[in-house]
Amino acid sequence: MKTEVRGIIPPLVTPFAKDGSINATMFRKIINHVINAGVHGVFIAGSQGEFFSLERQERISLFEIAVDEVNGRVPVYAGTAAVSTSETVLLTQAAESVGCDAVSVISPFFITPNGQELYQHYKAIAKATHLPVLLYNNPDRTGYDIPVDTIKRLAEIDNIVGMKDSGGNLTYVNEVMRSIGTDFSILSGKDTVIFNILTAGGRGAVPASANVAPKLIVDLYNYVQSGDYDAARKAQFELAPLRMAFSLGSFPIVVKEALDIMGFDVGGARAPIQPLTPENRSRLTEVLKKMNLC
């Protein structure tokens, strides 16, 4: 029986101080902000956490801070992906050594590995750690989907326990679930289809908007678990304006500015990403006000 991954697991922002360094105090505050809202885990140094702009030691420091601050209250998922297999293995082993509970690994970006290359990549990572490993399919960022037959082969490896999907293609997700069965956790990484994936058999979500509205998304999840689909659908629709507001700026700045508006001084995104225009920040503020978040 595989380790089950379940619930709402926010991919946390990485707060930066004015000098560009990691703001550990604010990071701890964000961790408690989402845990107090009832989330079921935290995901560190993912896409929303700007893993792509972090040095190796910065990522490891984030893992250490998270493990310390969480203190066993919920599982800590570490984003350990890199383009090369060797760097991903190194980061995965570092995450294990500091006490993280699982790792999530986006498929290699910039390059386009074939199915056999992806299989060998993920197999090497899984064999290098005792931790549960989540595949991470994000075609918008990598340019391709992990082939379903490759996922099926990878699911035969004991500690490859599930997949986060940020593509939002329900046909693809349903085919993964049909091909592999229930002993494999599928998590939605697309905030607009959490309800759809949960009701199709998915076990949770890794939603960037849960940095901003964690309770609403935890409620959505709990409604589905209790069978109150009408309330869950309503929560999904209430979340939509926030997720649609992501288009107001370049990823990943909108979530960070939303938190800033709410009183969390998480700083901006690392260059070349720039702050929102005053007009778009005003639009974002209106969205948050209508959702009673500020």
**236 with 220: CB under 8 angstroms?**
yes
CA distance 285 to 177: 38
- H or E element, residue 73: none
- H or E element, residue 78: strand 76-79
Give the ranges where the chain is alpha helix by DSSP (H). 24-35, 56-70, 85-97, 115-127, 139-142, 148-154, 170-180, 194-200, 214-226, 229-244, 253-261, 278-290
Q: Under the phi-then-psi rule, with left for phi > 0, alpha for psi from -120 to 50, and beta for the rest, what region is 147?
A: beta
Q: Is residue 148 part of an annotated ligand binding site?
A: no
> Catalytic positions, please?
136, 164
**110 with 80: CB under 8 angstroms?**
no
Output the CA–CA distances (angstroms, integers) from residue 277 to 253, 257, 274, 284, 285, in the order listed.
Answer: 11, 11, 9, 11, 12
| DSSP 8-state assignment for residue 102 | E
Q: Within 10 Å of residue 116's Cβ, how many Cβ atoms?
A: 11
**252 with 13: CB under 8 angstroms?**
yes
Contacts of 269 (CB under 8 A, 6+ apart): 50, 53, 250, 252, 253, 256
Strand partners, 281: none
**54 with 14: CB under 8 angstroms?**
yes
Q: Within 10 Å of residue 137's Cβ, how many Cβ atoms?
A: 23
Known binding-site residues for pyruvate equal: 206
Known binding-site residues equal: 206
